[in-house]
């Protein structure tokens, strides 16, 4: 099944609660929450207090994408704030296995993200330990960028690695996904689709109807 994970980064923060309700009503299964620290990526977005305040507004899966250095330091707090799925970047973790195990010990789902220029082979050892692989289709840090075409082939590579090893992890694609290219990424093997600007600048219901 294909799932949509609208990214709050493109939401109107002045009415964030209403935007969460909109995602909920539109039937998206996930809420994608981009946490940026201004170090791992150039931008600073928002963090724990925002997640805590929107948590009571919906039962949708909180898909928290940590674009921060040393994510280990915050696993407990993000789990307690209400993350259901916590994704860390392979590039930000010196001891990726330890980080993934710590996330799972909190009783939540663990995801690992790779940037466009990080080879899929980086995941070969950890693949059997994760619930989700996030293939970044733009360089992280900003919403509204264009999908980098070669990343579609990376989705295909991850899917075939998973199939070959009989693993059931989800593949999420994040960055520059629009109604025009969503079929391309799902055909390559992605089953969780992040969309920020395409959802909040367009019609969330349209994407929801067409592809969820
Ligand atoms: C980028 C973030 C994305 C971003 C996607 O660093 O991880 O989740 O919000 O936004 P769009 O869909 O506009 O590319
Ligand atoms: Zn993201």
pLDDT tens, the chain, 212 aa long:
899 999 999 999 999 999 999 999 999 999 999 999 999 999 999 999 999 999 999 999 999 999 999 999 999 999 999 999 999 999 999 999 999 999 999 999 999 999 999 999 999 999 999 999 999 999 999 999 999 999 999 999 999 999 999 999 999 999 999 999 999 999 999 999 999 999 998 755 555 554 44
Are 161 and 140 in contact, with CB atoms under 8 Å apart?
no
Strand partners, 7: 32
Which residue among 33, 145, 178, 204 is best mutated to probe the pocket of ligand 1, counting the most ligand atoms within 8 A of its Cβ?
A: 145
With the C-alpha atoms ordered 88, 90, 91, 94, is the resulting torsion angle positive or negative?
Answer: positive
Are 2 and 211 in contact, with CB atoms under 8 Å apart?
yes
Which residue among 141, 196, 200, 201 is best mutated to probe the pocket of ligand 1, counting the most ligand atoms within 8 A of its Cβ?
A: 196
Distance, in Å, from the CA atom of 33 to the CA atom of 63, rounded to the nearest integer, reads: 6
Active site residue 84: no
pLDDT of residue 17: 97
102 close to ligand 1 (CB < 6 Angstrom) = no
CB burial of residue 148 (10 Å; 0-12, 13-18, 19+): middle
Distance, in Å, from the CA atom of 50 to the CA atom of 81, rounded to the nearest integer, reads: 9
- Nearest C-alpha neighbor of 24 from the set 210, 205, 206, 211: 205
pLDDT of residue 208: 53
Domain extent listing, the chain:
3-211
Are 6 and 204 in contact, with CB atoms under 8 Å apart?
yes
* Pairing outcome for strands 85-89 and 192-195: unpaired
23 C-alpha to ligand 2 centroid (Å): 16
Are 195 and 177 in contact, with CB atoms under 8 Å apart?
yes
Distance, in Å, from the CA atom of 28 to the CA atom of 46, rounded to the nearest integer, reads: 21
Contacts of 183 (CB under 8 A, 6+ apart): none
pLDDT of residue 212: 42
Active site residue 203: no
Are 89 and 117 in contact, with CB atoms under 8 Å apart?
no
Ligand nearest to the CA of 8: 1
* Pairing outcome for strands 85-89 and 132-136: unpaired
Write out the two tokens for 92. 């930000």
Are 197 and 10 in contact, with CB atoms under 8 Å apart?
yes
pLDDT of residue 202: 74
Instruction: Answer yes or no: CATH 3.20.20.70 is held by domain 3-211.
Output: yes
189 close to ligand 1 (CB < 6 Angstrom) = no
138 C-alpha to ligand 2 centroid (Å): 10
Please count the other Cβ atoms lying within 10 Å of the Cβ belonging to residue 23. Answer: 26
């Amino acid at each position: 099944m294909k799932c949509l994970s609208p990214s709050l980064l493109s939401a109107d923060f002045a009415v964030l609660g209403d935007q969460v309700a909109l995602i909920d009503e539109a039937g998206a299964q996930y809420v994608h929450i981009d946490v940026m620290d201004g170090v791992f990526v150039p931008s600073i977005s928002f963090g724990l207090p925002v997640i805590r305040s929107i948590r009571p507004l919906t039962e949708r899966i909180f898909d928290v994408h940590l674009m921060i250095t040393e994510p280990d330091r915050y696993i407990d707090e993000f789990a307690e704030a209400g993350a259901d799925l916590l994704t860390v970047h392979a590039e930000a973790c010196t001891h990726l296995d330890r980080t993934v195990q710590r996330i799972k010990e909190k009783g939540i789902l663990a995801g690992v993200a790779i940037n466009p220029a990080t080879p899929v082979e980086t995941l070969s050892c950890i693949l059997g330990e994760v619930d989700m692989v996030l293939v970044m289709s733009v360089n992280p840090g900003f919403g509204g960028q264009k999908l980098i075409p070669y990343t579609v082939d990376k989705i295909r590579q991850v899917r075939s690695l998973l199939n070959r090893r009989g693993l059931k992890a989800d593949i999420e694609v994040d960055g520059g996904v629009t109604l025009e290219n969503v079929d391309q990424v799902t055909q390559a093997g992605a089953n969780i689709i992040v969309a920020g600007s395409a959802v909040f600048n367009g019609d969330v219901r349209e994407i929801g109807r067409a592809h969820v």
